Every structure is written in C-alpha cells, then in structure tokens.
Amino acid sequence: EKDGYDYFMLKEIAEQPKAVADTLLGRIDAQGALHLDEVRIPAAVLREVTKVVVVACGTAYHAGMIAKYAIEHWTRIPCETELASEFRYRDPILDQRTLVIAISQSGETMDTLMALRHAREQGAKVLAICNTNGSTIPRESDAVLYTHAGPEVAVASTKAFLTQLVACYLVALYLGQVRGTKWGDEINSVVGELAHIGTEVDTVLGTMEPVRELARSLADKDTVLFLGRHVGFPVALEGALKLKELAYMHAEGFAAGELKHGPIALIEPDLPVVVVVPSPRGRSVLHDKIVSNIQEIRARGARTIVVAEEGDEAVVPYADHLIRVPATPTLLQPLVATVPLQVFACELATARGNEVDQPRNLAKSVTVE
C-alpha cells in the first residue's frame, strides 16, 4: 500500500497536492463564496464571537499558530493559539461568545480532547478540524470541518498539516465573509489563489532533488537551526520538529527577530541554518529585516539554507543553498514553504539510517495526557 514508495512518509508527502485539493472540494463555489455547511454553528452565532482560541499539539499546534495570523488579519477577531496540554491548567477565560478551534489529525489526542472538554464546560463553542471521521474529538465538538487528507500512516505528520492549514484558512476566510470586514476584496482574491494551491505544491515537489542532496551532505551534523518571521516562524518550528522526530538531531526554530536577543550566540562556523524568507511583496519590511539576519549569521560563518519565493533576488548573495518556492499571498506561504522542510527531514532520517515511518519513542496518536 506504499504504492512503490520506500516509506509511507514519502507517499504522503507526494499526495499533498491532491490532499489540499480534497480539503477544498465542494467548499468554494464558482462565485468564490465559501460553503462550510458542516460548520453547523449558525452565522448569527459566528457574528457574535468575540474571541477565538485554537488548541492543538505538535504539528497541529503549528497549523494553529498560522491560523492565528489568518484569523486576526481577515476577521479582526482576537485569536490566541495555545498548546492543548497547557490550556486548561491556566484557567483560561472563556464564555459563550468564545469560539474554540481544536485541531487534530487523529481526533484522539488526549491533551486536545481534555482542552475541548474544558472549553465546552465553560460554555464555549468548539469547532474541530480533524482528519479522522467519527473519532472522539469531532464527536465531542459542536461542529467539525474534516480535512479529507486520507489516512496518514507515517508518524511524522505531513499531508495532515497542509490540509489543516487549508481548513484553517477556510475557517478564517469564512468568518471574514460571514462577518464582513474591510478585507472583502483580499478575501475574494485569496479564495481564488487557494483554489489552485495544489498546483503550487506540486511545483515544489518537482524541484526537490537538490534538497535531498543537501540533506544527505548534512547527515553527520549535530544541530540545525530554523529561522522565520510572521507565518514563516511556525514553519521554522515545524521544520525543526520534523528534524527532531525523524533525524533525531538537535533542531530549533526561532522567530528571526529574536536572534539578537540570545540565539545568535549559537551561530558558529559551518552550522546549518534554514531561513524561511517572507515575500518581498506585501510585508516587505519583514523581508528586508530577514535578509539582514541572513547576512548577520553568514558573517559569523553559518551555512545558510534559504527558502525564498521565486523572483526574490535580494537573498541570492547570502544563500549558500537556495530553495525556491512559488510566489503566493503572504498568509498562504506556509503551504509551499513547509514542503521542502519535510523532504529535508525525511532524507536526513534516511541518510542517518533511521526508521522513517516509525521514529523511536513515538506513537501516531497520543492517547495519554
């Protein structure tokens, strides 16, 4: 059932263009309006929401971090994203006008389940974003948006993550449409871009050989750092998590702006540092700042591995290795920027002789708190 791939992870990485298309299926009409009928929470209730809280663990938590940027930008509703395992222990402030979004591939993660139970006890409405039909988390939620990624067998989450992102964007855009915000035009154009994002993911997959080669050349390293800003920050965290769980390497993700507040002390000659660069269009201030970061770390001898959009020439002089991704709207960039980091981790794990689909000490679904 690996369809000729050596590992389920490779198969699932390759399935991502179809998976994201399946998440979108039937949810955008020809006029660009979103139809999330499964979100049985009435529009009238969604219009009254005063706060959104996203709870999740691991990779799903990284999707939730990205959801925060999208929700706050497109809906102007304050949104916080919290690790499900921390959530109920801090006595969070919740009421009937709070929308809690619980993200889980398996639908069985105990930490996430306990967080959503706590939220419902406080009267909050819970929307699950889940990949597994009929699992516990959707059963215990007020509504569910299934990601339709198909079964994910590899312990390391890949296609589930991309489809969780798409589902989060759909929810954010839907909330924006239902409530009406000043971003109406932008929402319409992003919906249009989302509709063919599978093609962009496919383009990235077609250019991965140099990434695999690079990964193999780093097999004897101890540490890899990942930097990003804005939605690229959770992408950096996700790249680091993949590397930890698959390659058993020390990997850390940082918000690039934090570098000067401590982590820059870690930079030493030949240390591989992956930098996820935001688009030079749109949030160009951030782009310029991250280019300075790349210069700074390179001046200290780091080996820079730069993930940047097609046509971004400013990064070229400072990139020891350049990984190109198609240009997308800023908030959608994680859908293309994460893919090379998945391939990178998978190839490093293989090069180090690790079991790719079943990393040591890990289980696919974590049903204990």
Q: Does 259 participate in binding ligand M6R (rule CB under 6 A)? A: no
Question: Which of 106, 293, 333, 338 is in the footprint of ligand M6R by CB under 6 A?
Answer: 106
Nearer to ligand M6R, 59 or 330 (CB): 59
CB of 152 to ligand M6R, least distance (A): 9
Give the DSSP H or E segment for 57: none
Nearer to ligand M6R, 23 or 104 (CB): 104
Q: What is the DSSP letter of 174?
A: H
Question: Which of 9, 24, 36, 57 is in the footprint of ligand M6R by CB under 6 A?
Answer: 57
Tokens encoding 361: 């000490």
- The radius of gyration computed from the CA coordinates of the chain, to the nearest angstrom, equals 20
Nearer to ligand M6R, 200 or 238 (CB): 238
Q: Does 251 participate in binding ligand M6R (rule CB under 6 A)? A: no
Tokens encoding 172: 């954010």
Applying CB under 6 A, the site for ligand M6R has a residue count of 16
CB of 153 to ligand M6R, least distance (A): 12
Query: Judged by CB under 6 A, which stretch of 33-41, 65-73, 104-112, 313-321 contacts ligand M6R?
Result: 104-112
Q: Does 19 participate in binding ligand M6R (rule CB under 6 A)? A: no
Q: Does 341 participate in binding ligand M6R (rule CB under 6 A)? A: no
Distance from C-alpha of 270 to C-alpha of 298, rounded to nearest angstrom: 9
- Total H helices, total E strands in the chain: 14, 10
Which of the residues are catalytic? Answer: 364
Nearer to ligand M6R, 246 or 271 (CB): 246
Question: Which of 23, 104, 147, 293 is in the footprint of ligand M6R by CB under 6 A?
Answer: 104
Tell me if residue 55 falls in helix, strand or coil. strand
Determine contact, residues 253/228, Cβ cutoff 8 Å: yes
Return the closest-CA partner of residue 28 out of 196, 195, 201.
195
CB of 302 to ligand M6R, least distance (A): 26
Give me the residue label for tokens 């950096």: 236
CB of 245 to ligand M6R, least distance (A): 6
Q: What is the DSSP letter of 294?
A: H
Angle (deg, nearest 10), helices 159-179 and 184-195: 150
Determine contact, residues 74/18, Cβ cutoff 8 Å: no
The Cβ-side half-sphere exposure at 288, using a 13 Å CA radius, reads 5
Tokens encoding 260: 């000067």
Q: Which residues, 6 or more positions from 133, have their beta carbon under 8 angstroms from its beta carbon?
A: 146
Q: Does 323 participate in binding ligand M6R (rule CB under 6 A)? A: no
Q: Does 109 participate in binding ligand M6R (rule CB under 6 A)? A: yes
Tell me if residue 283 falls in helix, strand or coil. coil
Nearer to ligand M6R, 75 or 109 (CB): 109
Q: Does 273 participate in binding ligand M6R (rule CB under 6 A)? A: no
CB of 359 to ligand M6R, least distance (A): 8
Determine contact, residues 337/329, Cβ cutoff 8 Å: no
CB of 233 to ligand M6R, least distance (A): 17
Distance from C-alpha of 143 to C-alpha of 43, rounded to nearest angstrom: 13
Q: What is the pattern of x (binds ligand M6R, CB under 6 A) and - over residues 132-171?
A: -----------------------xxx--------------
Q: Does 98 participate in binding ligand M6R (rule CB under 6 A)? A: no
Q: Would you state the torsion angle of the CA atoms of residues 81, 250, 334, 216, taken in this order, to the nearest 10 degrees? A: -160
CB of 105 to ligand M6R, least distance (A): 3
Question: Which of 105, 279, 330, 342 is in the footprint of ligand M6R by CB under 6 A?
Answer: 105
Q: Does 365 participate in binding ligand M6R (rule CB under 6 A)? A: yes
Distance from C-alpha of 302 to C-alpha of 294, rounded to nearest angstrom: 9
Q: Does 59 participate in binding ligand M6R (rule CB under 6 A)? A: yes
* Binding site residues, ligand M6R, CB under 6 A: 57-60, 104-106, 109, 112, 155-157, 241, 245, 365-366
